[in-house]
Amino acid sequence: MPQAWLGPQDQAGTGLSKTSFSKTSLSRTAFSRTGFSLALVQVGLSCFVLWPVRAGSPPQHLPLEARCCLASGDCLQLEVADEPEEQRLGMMQRQALPKGRGMWFPFKSARRLRFWMHKTLAPLDMLFVNQGRVIAIEAAVPVCSNLPCRSYGPAQDAEAVLELGSGEAARLGIRVGTELRIEPQPSQSIPQSIRP
């Protein structure tokens, strides 16, 4: 991706130009023309959508809005990509995530999710999650500088993806079946004395 993500599939009203194709007429492909890359996205099980992604877009850095805690007591600070544009941009053009950090991609309902690594600068671990448990892991997914790029994801439906720096899933002992507890980041109140 110019993100590490292909989706969501229910993108109505975003103002992005969309073109649908049957699954048999087009498979994991992307095109480039005059400063735009068109990112291929699988929709449901039968069609694809192409979204324009402007070449040279600056990387996005989202606030730390949640944390993921494991049974071991380890917790990760998460950027949350819960808006269509945030999900479209994902980790594109970002340096490697530091230990203890990740990007969380929640979806409204479980579906087959496919992510890619076009214009992502550092390898990632992709954890596909359904009902609070890891159902698949794509470990140390390599970057993809040139199109076409491979897409990654399980055959079964997932309702979220957690992206971590390469090797983080193994370091933390995360495996298929591991329970992930995602919770809002504790809010930091501003002391009364310095409030406007």
- 62-85 pLDDT, tens digit each: 999 999 999 999 999 999 999 999
Over residues 2-30, mean pLDDT: 30
Q: Give residue 190's pLDDT.
A: 29
Query: DSSP letter at 86?
Result: H
Q: Give residue 186's pLDDT.
A: 65
- Extents of the domains making up the chain: 20-184
Residue 156 has pLDDT above 80, yes or no: yes
Q: Give residue 110's pLDDT.
A: 97
% of the chain at pLDDT higher than 70: 65
User: Which strands sit side by side in the sheet containing 31-33, from one edge to the other?
Assistant: 20-22, 47-54, 36-43, 31-33
| Higher per-residue confidence, 38 vs 139 | 139
Count of CB atoms within 10 A of residue 176's CB?
12
Question: Residue 69: what are its φ and ψ, rounded to 5°?
Answer: -115, 140
* Cis omega (within 30 of 0) for bond into 148: yes
pLDDT in tens, 17-74: 222 222 222 222 232 333 333 333 333 332 233 344 455 678 999 999 999 999 999 9
Question: Residue 62: what are its φ and ψ, rounded to 5°?
Answer: -95, 155
Provide the whole-model pTM. Answer: 0.69
- CATH superfamily ID and name for 20-184: Protein of unknown function DUF192 (2.60.120.1140)
**What is the band of 137 on the pLDDT scale with cuts at 50, 70, 90?**
very high
